[in-house]
Structure 1
Amino acid sequence: MSKASMAGKVAGASAPAPGLAAPRQRAAAWSPAKGGLLLLALPLAMLALFFLLPLLVVLGQSFTAPAGPFDSYVRLAGDSALRNALTYTFQTAAIVTLAALVLSYPVAFLISRAQGRWLVIGMVFVLVPFWTSAVIRSYAWLVLLQRRGVLNEMMLALGLIDRPLRLTNTDIGTHVAMVQIMLPFMILPLLSAMRGIDASVLRAAAILGANPWRQFLHVYLPLSMPGVGAGCVLVFISTLGFYITPALLGGSSQMIAVAIEQQVSRLLDWPLASALATLLLVLTCLLFMLYERLNRRLAGAGEAR
């Protein structure tokens, strides 16, 4: 066999088959970036349809007042009742957040130190209320706190009071119920941060002569601050939009969600209700941006140390 014929056979063997060239070209055309965009297309479409579009509709309705596009915002600025509702909403959110933090921190600390069966029991006590509907828990507090409820009957039987106390339709009853509902939202971020703290750091502080109080104040508390910040933001923002509990247990003061519902269902003032919802959304976003900026600054300061 001549050298020319052998070279031709080798070339023919090394050349790709005609039928395999097209799949290789299609595989080359299908890049990971295109695949990622295709996978994101459906979630983005659902997000735009069920989240972004309703927000735009509410925003558009806030400018549809008969007296002018900005009439709803002018009325909102001049209505003292609505301004008081907005102020009361932020005050309630701050009170609930602070109370939830004070109650949740020791609970999260104990659960983070637990092991085995006790850890499971602690998580069950946190997650079962978390899985229970807020409507059911609000009605449960209504049963407990009403004039002939369990709490008043118990105190009357023990002789602690002479007549039933008014615990429903008051700020105290509303705050107590909202704190109980928000406790899991505070405990879980705290627990996540505390479980990540290395115990050897505390042992090192003890070896260097720090007493338990200084260990907590200078070592443990700063390391748990990411959980504190995340829990406070989660509870505060969630409390701003509370409706069921204030509607059932609330007193003379209204939260902004109840005021929005009244504008829609009773007064049929959709532009003003939309303006209230838009203002609440904008203020919430500003608070979240402020938290993110403060968190980044604190993280940068920690890294600099």
Structure 2
Amino acid sequence: MVEVITAPPSPVPVRRRQAHWRHGAIRWRIPLLLTTPLLLYMLAFYALPVVSMLLRSLNDPTWSFDHYTALPNDAVFLKVFWVTLRTSLVVTLATLVLGYPVALALSRARSTAPFILMVILLPFWTSVLVRSYAWMVLLGRHGLINEALLAPKLIAHPIRLLNTTLATEIAMTHILLPYMILPIANALRQIDPSLARAASGLGATPRGTFWQVILPLSMSGAAAGVVLVFVLALGFYITPAMVGDSRDVTLSMLIAQQVEQFNWGYSAALSAVLLATALGLIAVAQRLPGVGNAFRMSLR
């Protein structure tokens, strides 16, 4: 009888599997190691302060929801909240109306595109405080605008422009305008030029091409710009405090006033409401038909 001797299994496949597993483990750990410093930074300087704020709103003077339950009956809070929403809405619409033509010109420009982009990004190189002071100089009683109107005797007396609701909306629109232009310009640049040529070849007029092709395809950038500008306008403080009307107090200004009075619990509750409003608007915008996908596409 012949005895068949079988060789022991080769350790090569086992070694390959082990090497593959180690390689996969390393590939999985590298992104985690790279993002760990950012995660720790966000945890220490963002998450913990937010949690501390929420706890303070519930623990001043005792553990309760009194600060939140009193807000629906607080006439001051309701008025301030309405002023904040109204100002944010007006500024968002103004930046959309003014920013879309600029974004369209930027997307179609060739040789002048760097110059247009530099003009758009110029406000980012200047502090918000400096820009607010500049608007105070322009809109003051003896500012440049009033002096320019008084010189040719277009007006008999200086117009009250500074410390008005209009001044707040103008200054905030100027500061937040780049946040609307850049997402729209990015969406317009991603539109295939052959689509416009095809529409023109099928008999569409330039106006019809814009309304039926360009505008619908650029809604991704418009959606992102609207959400971004509205959320930023909700928390604006410096500009409304400097150029706005003292009667049109925004929510961020009310929070600052309460902090100065050491009313920590009430100010923390107001801050939580402001944060919840911003997060709620983002969540609602992403769930609207077509807007959510457009918003995510524009941020890629």
Q: Deviations over 1:1-51 (max 9, x none)?
A: xxxxxxxxxxxxx999xxxxxxx7996695321333233322211111111
On the 8 A contact 1:88/1:254 being kept in 2, the answer is: yes
* 1:208 correspondence with 2:202: yes
State the AA in 2 paired with 1:158. P
Of the three residues 155, 158, 161, the one matched with 2:152 is: 158
- List aligned pairs for 1:195-274, cutoff 5 A: 195-251=189-245, 252-265=247-260, 267-274=261-268
Q: Does 1:63 align with 2:34?
A: no
Counterpart position of 1:51:
46
Give how far 1:156 is off: 0.6
Q: TM-score, length-normalised on structure 1?
A: 0.86
Instruction: Structure 1: give runs of 5+ residues left out of the alignment.
Output: 1-13, 17-23, 301-305
- Quote how far apart the aligned CAs of 1:165 are: 0.8
**Whole-Å Cα distance in 2 between the matches of residues 77 and 288 of structure 1?**
23
Number of aligned residues: 282
Alignment check: 8 A CA contact 1:96 1:175 kept: yes
Which of residues 94, 103, 117 in structure 2 aligns to 1:108? 103
Q: 2:141 maps to what in 1?
A: 147
Query: Matched residues, percent identical?
Result: 42
Cα distance in structure 1, aligned partners of 2:11 and 2:68: 74
Amino acid at match of 2:50: L
Do 2:285 and 2:291's aligned partners in 1 also have CA atoms closer than 8 Å? no
Query: How many Å separate the matches in 2 of 1:274 and 1:298?
Result: 30
Please give the alpha-carbon distance, in whole angstroms, between the structure 2 residues aligned to 1:207 and 1:161: 53
> Counterpart of 1:167?
161
Q: Is the alpha carbon distance of 1:163 and 1:55 closer, same or farther for their aligned partners in structure 2, counting shifts above 3 Å?
A: same
Is 1:289 matched with 2:283? yes
CA contact (8 A) 1:100 1:183 kept: yes
The offset of 1:182, in angstroms, is 0.8
Post-superposition Cα deviations, 1:31-88, rounded to whole Å, max 9, x if no partner, equal: 3213332333222111111110010011011112226521211332222111111111
The alpha-carbon distance between structure 1 residues 147 and 40, as it changes in their structure 2 partners (threshold 3 A), is: same
Question: AA paired with 1:230?
Answer: A
Report the aligned-residue RMSD.
Answer: 2.5
Partners of 1:126 and 1:184 within 8 A in 2: yes
Q: Are the equivalent residues in 2 in contact too, given 1:76–1:272 (CA < 8 A)? A: no
- The 8 Å contact of residues 223 and 291 in structure 2, kept in 1 or not, is answered as no
Match of 2:68 in 1: 73
TM-score, normalised to structure 2, is 0.87
